[in-house]
Amino acid sequence: MAEIKVYGASWCPDCRRAKRFLGDQRVPFEWHDIEQDPDGVSVVQARNNGNNVIPTIIFPDGTSLSEPTNEQLAEKIGLERMAMMHVYDLIIIGGGPAGLTTSIYAARENLQTLVIDSKGLGGQAGVTERLDNYPGFPEGIGGAELAERIVQQARRYGVELLQAVSVLSITSDGDQVDVETATGDHYHSRAAPHRQRLLVPPDERARGGRPDRGQHPLLRHL
């Protein structure tokens, strides 16, 4: 399958942003530095009425985007950025291994669960070349493979997953939690734990402790 081609320059901040976005989503692409590749300049100019507009990104279907925002890239590569419902039993902000694992356990308890991540599902593990200290894989495992396995398992249990969606605010009226995203959507739940480090205090984590629902306002309604 043909890869996405990104034409740009090393000094271009929008080029770095686009490359980082595609990398976070684990989308393969070819990088063409137009300062090192005269043919790349011709490609960019042909796509932009003779102008050097970078990044210019060409997709396998032959279409292209010039200086796209992350939102435009997300739409083009087909990322799911809007959930099917607006009310959930549980909303988890952060789709790394900890957040995804939490979602699997929640879904197994028949909780309607939504995961929202501003980058790519799998977190830092998903963009790590190889993990040699992850339990259950004595020979190590590629970060992208591990992330994809966890994502598939979460989906099998019916977890809804949103990626490349930033959370703007989390508010609570005491009965419900409102999560507002950068897409303009509002999602409501009985709890919205914000990453695992907020669920259990560090001294309790060291002892394998459980979250204190009485102390954490976003967990009281679980």
Mean of all residue pLDDT scores within the chain: 83
pLDDT tens per residue across span 49-83: 999 999 999 999 999 999 999 889 998 998 888 99
Residue 126: pLDDT band by 50, 70, 90 thresholds? low
Give the pLDDT score at 172: 87
Q: Locate all alpha helices (DSSP H) within the chain, ordered by sequence.
A: 13-24, 38-47, 70-76, 97-108, 123-126, 143-156, 202-206
pLDDT of residue 2: 58
At 13, list the tokens.
């901040």
Q: pLDDT class for 123, splitting at 50, 70, 90?
A: confident
DSSP string, 90-132: EEEE--SHHHHHHHHHHHHTT--EEEE-SS-TTHHHHT-S-BS
State residue 199's pLDDT score: 40
- CATH architecture for the domain at 4-76: 3-Layer(aba) Sandwich (3.40)
What's the Cα-to-Cα distance from 95 to each of 50, 91, 147, 149, 151, rounded to whole Å?
41, 11, 10, 13, 9
Average pLDDT over residues 123-148: 78
**CB neighbour list of residue 97: distance below 8 Å, 6 or more residues apart:** 122, 123, 125, 146, 147, 150
Name the one residue in this structure whose structure tokens are 């914000």.
Answer: 194
Burial 77-106 (b: 16+ CB within 10 A, else e): eebebebeeeebbbbbbbbbbbbbebbbeb
Fold (topology level) of 87-206: FAD/NAD(P)-binding domain (3.50.50)
C-beta separation of 113 from 88 below 8 A: yes
**Average pLDDT, integer, range 13-35:** 92
Q: Where are the domains of the chain?
A: 4-76, 87-206
- Tell me, what's the pLDDT at 191? 54
**165-199 residue pLDDT tens:** 999 999 988 788 999 998 999 999 975 555 444 44
